[in-house]
C-alpha cells in the first residue's frame, strides 16, 4: 500500500489507526481526511509528524473535496468517518444518515472513479442487533442484519451500499465489524471514558437501566491491528467480525473502573434506560483468526490499566474534551438525574 486515504482519522479509532499505519508502513503516504466535527479533535493527532503524512479538512459527503483529496494513485480507502454515538442518534438521526449513509456512497463513487484498489469499511457489531443473555450465542459473519438504533441502522445502510458496490461494479471491498472499543483519546460521551473522567472528578456515574447489559470490549490498538491486516491480506469481498472474547456487564465494568481509581461504588447512579437498549453483544472472531492469523494482544486487565493511566496523565485532554458544547450535550442527555460536570 503506497497511498492510503483514511477518513475520520481525527477521531478515537481513526487517530490510533493513523499512528499504526505510519509505524507499520513507513514508506506509505497517508492522507487523513476529516471534517473535524465535535468528535474530531486535532489534539488526537499530536506528535504525528511523519513525512508521508498529510491532514485534509473535508467532509465525506462533499464529492468535489473527496475527489480532489484523493488525487491520482490512491491505493486504498479506509472509512472510519461516521457519527458514532448511539444516544445522539436517538436524539436526532439526520447527521447519521447524512454522514454514515450518504458519505459512504460518495466515497464508494469516488473510489470507483479514481480506480482505488481496495475499500475498507469500518463497521460495527451493532448492525446485527442484540443477542439473548444465553452465553452460547455469538454474532458470526452469517448473523442477519437487525439494527436497533438509528446509529446501527445507518451503519447497516452503509454496509449494504458497500456490498452493492462490490456486487454491481466489482469494487474490491472489505468490511470489518468490531465490538466496543476502549483506549486513549475516546470522546467522553462514550461509557468508558465518561466513567473514568467522572470518577477522577468524584462525580456520579450514570448507569442505564439495571446495568446488566453486556458489551464485548476490545482495546483500540487490537482493533486497528485487525483492520490493517484486513486491508493488506483479506480476500476481496470479505467481512470479518472482530472481538477479544471479553464480555462484561456494564455494572461490572463500572466497578472495575472505580476500584482501579480507588473511588467509592457510591458514585454509581442508576438512571433511566436508553430507549431500545441492546441487551448483549458477543463476537465470534474465529474467521479473522483462522484466515488472517489475527489475535488480540491486550488482555482486559492490561488494557484497562493502561487506559486509565492515559486519562490520568492527560487531564488537559480530558478537560478540553469536556468543555464547551460537551456540557450542553451532557445536560440534555442526563437532565437533572446526574449533575453536569
Ligand atoms: P469518533 O466519533 O471518535 O470519530 C469519528 C470521526 O469522524 C471524527 O474525527 C469526525 O470528525 C469524523 N467525521 C464525522 N463526520 C464526518 C464527515 N461527514 N466527513 C469527514 N469526517 C467526519 O468515532 P470512533 O469511535 O473513532 O469510530 C470510528 C469508526 O469506527 C466509526 O465508523 C464507528 O462506526 C466505527 N466503530 C466504532 C466502535 C467504537 O467502539 N467506538 C466500534 C465499532 C465500530
Ligand atoms: O452514560 C452511559 N451509561 C450507560 O450505562 C452511557 C453513555 C452508556 N451506558 C451503557 C450503554 C451501553 O450498554 O454502556 C454501554 C456502552 O455504551 P456506549 O459507550 O454508548 O457504547 P454502545 O452503545 O455499546 O456503542 C459502542 O459500540 C459499538 C460505540 O459507541 C459504537 O460506535 C460502536 O459501533
Label residue 155 by pLDDT band (50, 70, 90).
very high
Measured CA to CA in angstroms, residue 206 lies from 143, 154, 253, 329 at distances of 31, 26, 13, 14
Residue 7 Cβ < 6 Å to ligand 1: yes
Each residue's pLDDT tens digit, 157-203: 999 999 999 999 999 999 999 999 999 999 999 999 999 999 999 99
Report, as an integer, the average pLDDT of 53-76.
98
Mean of pLDDT over the chain: 97
Among 9, 82, 239, 283, which residue has the most ligand 1 atoms within 8 Å of its CB, making it the best to mutate? 82
Nearest CA to ligand 1 atom 15: 82
User: What's residue 1's pLDDT?
Assistant: 67
Ligand 1 atom closest to Cα of residue 151: 34
For 267, half-sphere exposure in the C-beta direction (CA atoms, 13 angstrom radius) is 22
Query: Among 134-138, 157-161, 251-255, which is the least confidently predicted range?
Result: 134-138
Q: What are phi and psi of 280, to 5 degrees?
A: -145, 135
Ligand 2 centroid distance, CA of 2 (Å): 35
| Residues ≥6 apart with Cβ < 8 Å to 79 | 7, 8, 60, 104, 107, 119, 120, 121, 122
Ligand 2 binding residues, C-beta < 6 A: 84-86, 124, 126, 180, 190-191, 194, 206-208, 213, 215, 250, 274
What are the DSSP calls for 109-147, one per residue?
A: HHHHHTT-SEEEEEEEGGGG----S-TT--B-TTPPP--
Contact 212, 249 (CB under 8 A): yes
Residue 119 Cβ < 6 Å to ligand 1: no
Tell me: pLDDT of 148 over 80.
yes
Tell me: pLDDT of 88 over 70.
yes
Rounded to two decimals, the pTM is 0.98
Among 83, 91, 152, 191, which residue has the most ligand 2 atoms within 8 Å of its CB, making it the best to mutate? 191
Ligand 1 centroid distance, CA of 45 (Å): 15
User: What's residue 179's pLDDT?
Assistant: 98
Contact 119, 162 (CB under 8 A): yes
From the CA of 183, which ligand is nearest? 1
From the CA of 42, which ligand is nearest? 1
Ligand 2 atom closest to Cα of residue 123: 34
CATH topology of domain 3-181+217-242: Rossmann fold (3.40.50)
Amino acid at each position: 500500500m503506497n497511498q492510503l486515504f483514511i477518513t475520520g482519522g481525527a477521531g478515537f479509532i481513526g487517530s490510533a489507526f493513523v499512528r499504526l499505519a505510519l509505524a507499520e508502513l513507513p514508506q506509505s503516504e497517508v492522507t487523513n481526511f476529516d471534517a473535524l466535527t465535535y468528535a474530531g479533535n486535532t489534539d488526537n493527532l499530536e506528535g504525528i509528524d511523519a513525512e508521508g503524512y498529510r491532514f485534509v479538512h473535508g467532509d465525506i459527503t462533499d464529492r468535489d473535496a473527496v475527489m480532489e483529496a484523493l488525487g491520482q494513485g490512491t491505493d486504498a480507502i479506509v472509512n472510519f468517518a461516521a457519527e458514532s454515538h448511539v444516544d445522539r442518534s436517538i436524539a436526532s438521526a439526520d447527521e447519521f444518515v447524512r454522514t454514515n449513509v450518504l458519505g459512504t456512497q460518495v466515497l464508494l463513487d469516488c473510489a470507483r472513479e479514481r480506480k482505488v484498489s481496495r475499500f475498507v469499511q469500518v463497521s460495527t457489531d451493532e448492525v446485527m442487533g442484540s443477542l439473548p443473555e444465553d452465553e452460547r450465542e455469538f454474532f458470526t459473519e452469517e448473523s442477519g442484519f437487525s439494527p436497533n438504533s438509528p446509529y446501527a441502522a445507518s451503519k447497516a445502510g452503509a454496509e449494504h451500499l458497500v456490498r452493492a458496490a462490490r456486487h454491481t461494479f466489482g469494487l474490491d471491498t472489505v468490511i470489518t465489524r468490531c465490538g466496543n472499543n476502549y483506549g486513549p483519546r475516546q470522546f467522553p460521551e462514550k461509557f468508558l471514558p465518561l466513567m473514568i473522567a467522572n470518577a477522577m472528578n468524584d462525580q456520579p456515574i450514570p448507569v442505564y437501566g439495571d446495568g446488566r447489559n453486556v458489551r464485548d470490549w476490545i482495546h483500540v490498538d487490537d482493533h486497528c491491528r485487525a483492520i490493517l491486516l484486513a486491508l493488506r491480506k483479506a480476500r476481496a469481498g470479505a467481512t470479518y467480525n472482530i472481538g477479544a472474547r471479553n464480555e462484561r456487564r456494564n455494572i461490572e465494568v463500572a466497578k472495575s473502573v472505580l476500584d482501579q481509581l480507588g473511588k467509592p461504588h457510591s458514585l454509581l447512579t442508576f438512571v433511566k434506560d436508553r430507549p431500545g437498549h441492546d441487551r448483549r453483544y458477543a463476537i465470534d472472531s474465529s474467521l479473522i483468526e483462522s484466515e488472517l492469523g489475527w489475535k488480540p494482544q491486550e488482555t482486559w486487565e492490561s488494557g484497562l490499566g493502561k487506559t486509565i493511566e492515559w486519562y490520568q496523565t492527560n487531564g488537559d485532554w480530558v478537560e478540553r474534551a469536556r468543555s464547551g458544547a460537551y456540557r450542553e450535550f451532557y445536560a440534555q442527555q442526563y437532565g437533572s438525574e446526574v449533575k453536569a460536570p
